[in-house]
Structure 1
Amino acid sequence: MEITLIEQLEERLRQAMLKNDVSALEELIADDLVFTTHTGELIDKQTDLEAHRSDTQKLVLLNGQQQQVKVYGNTAVVTVKMEVAGTFEGKAFVGIYRYTRVWAKSQPQGNWQVVAGHVSQVGD
């Protein structure tokens, strides 16, 4: 079932983010990604990959809760509340965030990739 596949891809994405595995992230993120950060900044795939490649962003905790996956044909929408900890530009941070990610199945290869996303900081 597609929901199980998307859940597995979400876990691969989470592990790749924790390990700064740029190769895996390259595969999981679409070339035309549009992602809105918690500050409202729009970033693209290359900006996201560079943050991992350069260790500008180093995540040590991504603990997901309340994950929901909805599949609409060749598109899936994932929402998850995530406890996040790490460093950004050398400064430690910890917080609770809610992510929304849109996965799309590319044609003709049929690979699922993240095409859009948004993250907001939330309370407990």
Structure 2
Amino acid sequence: MNSEIEAQIRECEARLYAAMSASEVSELDALIADDLLFAGPTGELATKAMDLDLHRTGGTQFHEFVPKELEIQVWSENFVLASARIFLSGIYLGNAFAGDYRYMRVWRKGKSGWQIAGGSVTAIV
């Protein structure tokens, strides 16, 4: 059961990476829970609406997106913690960035399937 859930989350993470890289708002909308709370690299809290708006308007643009590792802990049949290390470069609100980042994501399974309900991203220095 855990290996099946882990495989589902790996597939969701791959879909998420592709959607983030291309700012594919409809796919991001499907993968992110309406009640998302996400802590950004400077500690600010973001909601789903804020994240989708950044992709829609070009406030977030990725030039490089290179996944390096993905660890998954299955907490239950409805909750999973994913930790990803990704090399990113791009522009966020007009500022260029590049480096390795650690994403922590809580995936929750509901009526719409697996969606991200919470998380954070931190620069690895």
Same fold (TM over 0.5): yes
1:89 corresponds in structure 2 to 93
Q: Does 1:33 align with 2:43?
A: no
Runs of 4+ deviating beyond 6 Å: none
Deviation at 1:91, TM superposition (A): 2.9
**1:5-35 deviation digits (Å, cap 9, x = unpaired):** 1000001000000111000000000000000
Counterparts in 2 of 1:45-84, with a 5 A limit?
A: 45-73=48-76, 74-84=78-88
Q: Distance in 1 between matches of 2:59 and 2:102?
A: 21
What is the aligned-residue RMSD (CA, Å)? Answer: 1.0
TM-score (normalised: structure 2): 0.93
2:5 corresponds in structure 1 to 2
Fraction of identical pairs, as percent: 36
**1:21-79 deviation digits (Å, cap 9, x = unpaired):** 00000000000000000100001000000000000110122211221011122101000
Match of 2:117 among 115, 118, 123: 115
Figure out how many residues of one structure are paired with residues of the other and give that number.
121
Query: Can you give the 5+ residue segments of structure 2 that lack an aligned partner in the other structure?
Result: none
Q: Distance in 2 between matches of 1:67 and 1:17?
A: 16
Deviation at 1:95, TM superposition (A): 1.3
